[in-house]
Amino acid sequence: MTASPSTRTDPLLRRVPGQAPRPVFSHAAGVRLFAPDGTVYLDAASGSMTTALGYTNPDIVEAMTRAASTLPYLHEAIGESPAAVDLARLLVSLAPEGITHTSFTSNGANAVEAAIRLAVLAQQGRGLPERRRVVGLGLSYHGSTPGALTCTGASAALEPFEGLLLHRLSVPTPFCPHRQADPHGEDDCATRAVEALEALLVGPEGGTVAAVVVEPIAAHAAGCRRVPAEFVAALHDLRRRHRFLVIADEVTTALGRVGPPFASTLVGLRPDLVCVGKGLGVGYSPISATLASGEVVAALPPGANLLGHNYNSHPIGVAVALTAVRRLTEPGLRDHVRDLGVDLARELAGLRDCPAVRDVRSEGLLAAVELRVPGPSTGTAGTWARTVADLALDAGVVVLPGACLVHGVPAAHLTVAPPLVTAPDDLREMLRRLRTALDTAADLLEGRR
């Protein structure tokens, strides 16, 4: 059921125009996707690291139905639903120290855009109107809207749209996502990133920097890597000296995916703004959040307009999110995620002896299987990752293919991010099926197929 050539001719413009249509799934339940012919697939990617509570969760469905039948829509300029206020309080109670306020929009990119607008407005309120640019890190991904792309460091996403990104600033990634591709150690990668950031801040463009965007744990774009402690400490020091704000992009990592409610606390990051997305709506409703510190909110100019979208604070979305966050933060589920993360790390370690595998990494229930790449180009790496992901689909398990260029060397990986409610037996079966696909990939690499 892979992406083979198809005779289907339909008007749907797909994410990659010209690519063969992707598989059709008729329904889903728990961690399983079902094809029309009855074939069952285990979703080891949570859609796109999103369906943390699995498919057709009855509590979420009930919350959606109740909201749709009582208050299906309300524009935030007119009023607000009780669930929006309750959800804001709950998120603030879970957030890193200093966070006091929350706003809601419809997806991760919009959450990043909202954080950028808040940072620029706060700098204006501080009397620094020239600070309206944002610094991103290499190998990062923050979304596909122009503002989010401005601070994205994944080159494949950027190249076609460079002309739109008028105020882009970036520094090298502080970690070496694929250690073997770098002649230095990870400490050197962090040091070089710090030096590049400091050089930018003391240079002619330093006075224009409103914020620096950081992923506490880089997810799919870089293959699951924790930001080094050295970089975090230096970032805090540079913030104190140069008065920029720190935006933590936790669209993927927030709300239990890597263990605690926020990955920022895991790595010691003290952000001024935090972006939350995938785990908030758990795949059932488009909703995201931008959390702000009391200092940021206090600095906003009188009468500032944060702007927004038609579906900001959507009543159905906030009802879904309130139910989801309450479930995701239950002690029993957090214990389950902790134990399942240990199981995942152990199962992944068993893949290291496969000739198709270069390395494995995991943080809680977010993991990357780094692949050996058969060719010399980034295009080859991306094609190979998709090929291996399709082999996994043939074996009955869904994973996400990814590729990037690291210090001039193409790198490919598969992201594994099962739902947080996955049963241990299902996790083992996911990894067994993935091993089958990787063994087939090894045969292809070694010319046996």
Please state the rounded mean pLDDT for residues 347-375: 95
pLDDT of residue 311: 92
pLDDT of residue 177: 54
Please state the rounded mean pLDDT for residues 387-415: 90
The domain spanning residue 388 has which CATH number? 3.90.1150.10
Would you state the structure tokens that stand for residue 64, as one six-digit string? 């959606």
Q: Where does a domain end: 311, 328, 345?
A: 328
380 — pLDDT class (breaks 50, 70, 90): confident
Examine residue 61 and state whether it is found in any structural domain, yes or no.
Answer: no
Examine residue 335 and state whether it is found in any structural domain, yes or no.
Answer: yes
Report the number of distinct structural domains present in the chain. 2
Examine residue 202 and state whether it is found in any structural domain, yes or no.
Answer: yes
pLDDT of residue 5: 35
174-184 pLDDT, tens digit per residue, is 877 555 444 44
pLDDT of residue 183: 46
Same domain, residue pair 239 and 126 = yes
Please state the rounded mean pLDDT for residues 206-229: 94
Determine what percent of the chain is predicted with pLDDT higher than 90.
Answer: 75
Mean of the per-residue pLDDT values for the chain?
Answer: 91
Same domain, residue pair 76 and 144 = yes
Same domain, residue pair 354 and 308 = no
Same domain, residue pair 263 and 371 = no
Same domain, residue pair 148 and 285 = yes
Would you state the structure tokens that stand for residue 9, as one six-digit string? 């001719």
Examine residue 8 and state whether it is found in any structural domain, yes or no.
Answer: no
The domain spanning residue 85 has which CATH number? 3.40.640.10
pLDDT of residue 255: 98
Q: Where does a domain end: 275, 307, 328?
A: 328
pLDDT at 119 over 90: yes
pLDDT of residue 306: 87
Full residue range of the structural domain in which residue 33 is found: 27-56+331-445
Tokens 């940072």, residue located: 119
Same domain, residue pair 117 and 239 = yes
Q: Where does a domain end: 286, 303, 328?
A: 328
64-113 pLDDT, tens digit per residue, is 999 999 999 999 999 999 999 999 999 999 999 999 999 999 999 999 99
Contact 402, 27 (CB under 8 A): no
Q: What is the pTM of this model?
A: 0.93
Same domain, residue pair 77 and 211 = yes
134-148, 154-168, 232-246, 412-426: least confident range: 154-168
20-29, 118-127, 170-179, 217-226: least confident range: 170-179
pLDDT of residue 149: 82
Residue of higher predicted confidence among 151 and 191: 191
| 257 vs 219: CA distance, rounded Å | 11
Examine residue 18 and state whether it is found in any structural domain, yes or no.
Answer: no
1 — pLDDT class (breaks 50, 70, 90): very low
Examine residue 63 and state whether it is found in any structural domain, yes or no.
Answer: no
pLDDT of residue 442: 96
Same domain, residue pair 315 and 340 = no
pLDDT at 261 over 80: yes
Same domain, residue pair 265 and 180 = yes
Please state the rounded mean pLDDT for residues 192-205: 96
Q: What is the 3-state secondary structure (H, E, C) of the chain?
A: CCCCCCCCCCCCCCCCCCCCCCCCCCEEEECEEECCCCCEEEECCHHHHCCCCCECCHHHHHHHHHHHHHCCCCCCCCCCCHHHHHHHHHHHHHCCCCEEEEEEECCHHHHHHHHHHHHHHHHHHCCCCCCCEEEEECCCCCCCCHHHHHCCCCHHHHHHHHHHCCCCEEECCCCCCCHHHCCCCHHHHHHHHHHHHHHHHHCCCHHHEEEEEECCEECCCCCCEECCHHHHHHHHHHHHHHCCEEEEEECCCCCCCCCCCCHHHHHCCCCCEEEECHHHHCCCCCCEEEEEEHHHHHHCCCCCCCCCCCCCCCHHHHHHHHHHHHHHCCHHHHHHHHHHHHHHHHHHHCCCCCCCEEEEEEECCEEEEEECCCCCCHHHHHHHHHHHHHHHHHCCEECEEEEEEECCEEEEEEEECCCCCCCHHHHHHHHHHHHHHHHHHHHHHCCCC
Examine residue 209 and state whether it is found in any structural domain, yes or no.
Answer: yes
Same domain, residue pair 34 and 105 = no
In sequence order, the 6+-apart residues with CB closer than 8 A to the CB of 354 are 435, 438, 439, 442
288-338 pLDDT, tens digit per residue, is 999 999 999 999 999 998 888 899 999 999 999 999 999 999 999 999 999
Question: Half-sphere exposure (CA, 13 Å, Cβ side) for 277?
Answer: 23
pLDDT of residue 167: 76
Examine residue 13 and state whether it is found in any structural domain, yes or no.
Answer: no
Same domain, residue pair 360 and 278 = no
Same domain, residue pair 262 and 178 = yes
| 151 vs 168: CA distance, rounded Å | 7
